[in-house]
Amino acid sequence: MQLRIAIRRRKRSKVLVQHCTRTRGRPAPGKTSSNPEDVGKKIGKLFGYLKDYVSCNESIIENLYEEFKKSSDCEDKDLNITQLLKKYGYPVEQHEVTTSDGYILTFFRIPNDGPVAFLMHGTLSSSDDFLTIGSNSGLAYLLADAGYDVWLGNARGNVHSRRHVSLSPSCKEFWAFSWDEIGRYDLPAMIDYILDKTGEEKLIYIGHSQGSTTFFVLCSELPEYNKKISVMVAFSAVAFIFGVPLLDIFSPIVNPLETALIDAIGAYELLPRNRFLQFVSDTLCPTPASATLICGNILFLMAGSDFAQINATAAPVIFGHYPAGSATRQGLHYGQLSLSGKFAQYDHGFVKNFKKYGSLTPPEYPLEKITAPVVIFYSLFDRVTPITSVAKIKSKLANVSKVIKVPFLQFSHADYLFARDVKKLLYDTVLDILPEYVDNKC
């Protein structure tokens, strides 16, 4: 039975600050360099890489752009998540929960009688991204078709969760969080709410990118939650050793960037489309095709692109819902990990670290306390989580059940959500293995 639920259309925020892509070479762990010349060289190297990349793939980009234009009038790009689900005949519920530190989270359910499956998005993303590729391929749709009771989470700060009991998104204090707080406060609040609502003792957790990072925070810092997880499925297990160029640019100046630049200009939220990205677009992508599909897309700048799997016909809908917003500190925290090579809590500087942690440096997360079974999907072309990262996280976890390589060489970080053939390459396998970890209620 469909529920009629009114939801305000999301508002795009007007704030500043940039996110991330790949270079090789970084300072040795523990060493920093805020030399402007070093940062300038990295920026120049990144821009050179992008310019060559666009130039070498110009004809492919033009062909994809023609597909994109044919689908640009698709009404789905203007529909919110409840409208999308209703359009394609799925029941939908909207739920709210308040975290112990006062953030009001809005998340969604496709109700069913089967096992509970909870999907958690990555940085700059939202629940919508498990749907926007279409009703025949989106993971949320496929799980619902298979009988699962699907819940779609939303972290503080994205378009669905921009409220607090006392703080406004226009103030600095609202954005004083990284993905640590999402794992420490948001996930427990949503998981407990879901289990209470459904009467179940456990749920399936599926996380993409930061959705896996926050799970690692949750079950290492609050190990009692391991017993509430029947299986955790990680699409790109993000914890160690990054290869994202803009992170490499900013990681040498992480703390000065936050204390000086961010406080000076009030840039507390990561901006989906800002002056920096406009400069990249104008400089490196002179044609409408390259500007729309490459430089105009922060997903490409952050994670790279696999042209063979770009779903140009779904792109207008994807771009209509992504990016969805995140705190600047989430990106800075990843920059710290890139710099240190450790999976550690947020580095506030010596003085605040000592006050908060009792040590000059932030403690590492005790990953050995994660006992819930974990299934890791990885790909060789994933620039955010290269194979060395996968090996390191596998060595730290106590109960890695499966490690599965996506059978497509150029499968990228964004392809876990948006690839043209993602159902065949990834989701069919996920649906095949889930029954191994749950009672057969579907």
Please identify every residue annotated as catalytic.
209, 413
Nearest Cα residue to 331 out of 20, 39, 32, 14: 20
Contact 183, 330 (CB under 8 A): no
Contact 190, 97 (CB under 8 A): yes
Q: Compute CA distances 163 → 81, 99, 143, 159, 263, whole Å.
A: 18, 11, 29, 10, 21
Instruction: Report d(CA 414, CA 318) in Å as an integer.
Output: 11
Give the pair of three-digit tokens for residue 91: 């029941």
Q: What is the separation of C-alpha 248 from the centre of its chain, rounded to a whole number of angstroms?
A: 18
Q: Compute CA distances 233 → 30, 67, 317, 375, whole Å.
A: 31, 32, 26, 5
Instruction: Report d(CA 112, CA 116) in Å as an integer.
Output: 8
Looking only at the bridges linking them, the beta strands covering 203-208 and 103-110 are unpaired
The b-or-e profile of 217-251 (16+ CB within 10 A means b, else e) is bbbbbbeebbebbbbbbbbbbbbbbbbbbbbbbbb
Instruction: Report d(CA 277, CA 20) in Å as an integer.
Output: 11
